[in-house]
Structure 1
Amino acid sequence: MYFGVYIYLSLDKDESLISKQDCMTLECFNVSVTTPRPDRAVVPLVHRHGPCAPSQSTIKTSFAQALRRSRARADYIMSRATTQEEDGKVSIPAHLGDSVGSLEYVVKLGLGTPAVEQVVLMDTGSDLSWVQCKPCNSSDCYPQKDPLFDPSKSSTYAPIPCDSALCKTLQSDRYGNGCTSNGTQCGYRVEYGGGSKTTGVYSNDALTLAPDVVINNFHFGCGYHQGGPNDKYDGLLGLGGSPESLPVQTSKLYGGAFSYCLPSVSSGAGFLALGAPSNTSGFRFTPMTRFMHETTFYVVRLTGISVGGKQLSIPRKVFEGGMIIDCGNILTHLPDTAYGELKSAFRAAMAAYPLLPHKYDTCYNFTGYSNITVPRVALTFSGGVTVDLDVPNGVLLDDCLAFTDSGPDDYVGIIGNVNQRSLEMLYDVGGGRLGFRAGAC
Structure 2
Amino acid sequence: METLQLFLSILLLLLLLSTSSLAQNPKCSDRDQESTLEVLHIYSPCSPFRPSSPSLSWEESILQMQHEDQARLQFLSSLVAGKSVVPVASGRQIVQSPTYILRAKIGTPPQTLLMAMDTSNDAAWVPCSGCVGCPSSAAFDSAKSTTYRNVACKSPQCSQVSNPTCGGGACLFNMTYGSSTLAANLSRDTFTLASDPIPNYTFGCIQKATGSSVPPQGLLGLGRGPLSLLSQTQDLYKSTFSYCLPSFKSPGFSGSLRLGPTAQPLRIKFTPLLRNPRRPSLYYANLVAIRVGRKIVDIPPGALAFNPTTGGGTIFDSGTVFTRLVEPAYVAVRNEFRRRVGRNLTVTSLGGFDTCYSVPIVAPTMTFMFSGMNLTLPADNLLIHSTAGSITCLALAASPGDFNSVLNVIANMQQQNHRVLYDVPNSRLGVARELCT
Answer yes or no: same fold by TM over 0.5. yes
- Structural mapping, 1:297-308, within 5 Å: 297-308=282-293
- Name the counterpart of 2:17: none
CA contact (8 A) 2:258 2:264 kept: no
- Structural mapping, 1:209-228, within 5 Å: 209-210=193-194, 212-227=195-210
- Name the counterpart of 2:406: 411
The CA deviation string for residues 77-135 of structure 1, in whole angstroms up to 9 with x for no partner, is 223333xxxxxxxxx44424342404200101111111111011111111111111110
- Structural mapping, 1:10-409, within 5 Å: 30=29, 32-35=31-34, 41-51=35-45, 53=47, 55-59=49-53, 62-82=61-81, 92-97=82-87, 98-102=90-94, 103-137=98-132, 140-141=133-134, 143=135, 146-168=137-159, 170-171=160-161, 175-180=162-167, 182=168, 184-192=169-177, 197-210=181-194, 212-227=195-210, 230=213, 233-267=216-250, 268=252, 269-278=254-263, 280-321=265-306, 322-351=313-342, 355-362=347-354, 364=356, 373-383=362-372, 385-393=373-381, 395-396=383-384, 400-406=393-399
Quote the Cα distance in structure 2 between the aligned partners of 1:196 and 1:389. Answer: 38
Residue identity opposite 1:178 in structure 2: T
Worse overlay, 65-74 or 405-414 = 405-414
Q: Report how far residue 410 of structure 1 moved.
A: 10
Quote the Cα distance in structure 2 between the aligned partners of 1:347 and 1:229. Answer: 41
Q: Report how far residue 231 of structure 1 moved.
A: 7.4
Quote the Cα distance in structure 1 between the aligned partners of 2:198 and 2:238. Answer: 14
Residue identity opposite 1:124 in structure 2: T
The CA deviation string for residues 366-422 of structure 1, in whole angstroms up to 9 with x for no partner, is 6xx7x7644322211112x11122532455387543322236899332222111111
Quote the Cα distance in structure 1 between the aligned partners of 2:28 and 2:293. Answer: 36
Quote the Cα distance in structure 2 between the aligned partners of 1:276 and 1:178. Answer: 38
Q: Report how far residue 51 of structure 1 moved.
A: 4.6
Residue identity opposite 1:153 in structure 2: K
Q: Report how far residue 155 of structure 1 moved.
A: 0.9
Quote the Cα distance in structure 2 between the aligned partners of 1:350 and 1:190. Answer: 47
Quote the Cα distance in structure 2 between the aligned partners of 1:195 and 1:427. Answer: 34
Residue identity opposite 1:401 in structure 2: L
Q: Report how far residue 190 of structure 1 moved.
A: 3.8
Quote the Cα distance in structure 2 between the aligned partners of 1:281 and 1:423. Answer: 14
Quote the Cα distance in structure 1 between the aligned partners of 2:179 and 2:394. Answer: 26
Question: More helix by proportion, 1 or 2?
Answer: 2
CA contact (8 A) 2:353 2:395 kept: no
The CA deviation string for residues 186-231 of structure 1, in whole angstroms up to 9 with x for no partner, is 1133444x55553300101111112x32111111110122355647
Distance change in 2, residues 1:394/1:273 (3 Å): farther
Secondary structure of 2:321's counterpart equals coil
Q: Report how far residue 326 of structure 1 moved.
A: 1.3
Residue identity opposite 2:129 in structure 1: K
Distance change in 2, residues 1:350/1:19 (3 Å): farther
Distance change in 2, residues 1:188/1:259 (3 Å): farther
CA contact (8 A) 1:162 1:179 kept: yes
Q: Report how far residue 281 of structure 1 moved.
A: 2.5
Worse overlay, 372-381 or 127-136 = 372-381
Residue identity opposite 1:208 in structure 2: T
Q: Report how far residue 248 of structure 1 moved.
A: 1.1
TM-score, normalization by structure 2: 0.80
Give me the identity figure in percent. 30
CA contact (8 A) 1:287 1:300 kept: yes
Q: Report how far residue 74 of structure 1 moved.
A: 1.9
Residue identity opposite 1:406 in structure 2: S
Structure 2 unaligned blocks of 5 or more = 15-26, 55-59, 307-312, 387-391
Q: Report how far residue 285 of structure 1 moved.
A: 0.2
Quote the Cα distance in structure 1 between the aligned partners of 2:130 and 2:405. Answer: 48
CA contact (8 A) 2:128 2:140 kept: yes
What is the RMSD computed on CA atoms of the aligned residues?
A: 3.2
Residue identity opposite 1:160 in structure 2: V
Residue identity opposite 1:339 in structure 2: Y
Q: Report how far residue 286 of structure 1 moved.
A: 0.3
Structure 1 unaligned blocks of 5 or more = 1-5, 9-17, 36-40, 83-91
CA contact (8 A) 1:308 1:376 kept: yes
Residue identity opposite 2:119 in structure 1: T
Secondary structure of 2:130's counterpart equals coil
Residue identity opposite 2:424 in structure 1: V
CA contact (8 A) 1:57 1:231 kept: no
CA contact (8 A) 2:120 2:281 kept: yes
Q: Report how far residue 356 of structure 1 moved.
A: 4.7
CA contact (8 A) 2:77 2:405 kept: no
Secondary structure of 1:34's counterpart equals coil
Quote the Cα distance in structure 1 between the aligned partners of 2:226 and 2:424. Answer: 13
Distance change in 2, residues 1:203/1:390 (3 Å): farther
- Among 406, 411, 427, the alignment partner of 1:432 is 427
Q: Report how far residue 30 of structure 1 moved.
A: 4.0
Residue identity opposite 2:248 in structure 1: V
- Name the counterpart of 2:19: none
Secondary structure of 1:295's counterpart equals coil
Residue identity opposite 1:220 in structure 2: F
Quote the Cα distance in structure 1 between the aligned partners of 2:420 and 2:324. Answer: 18
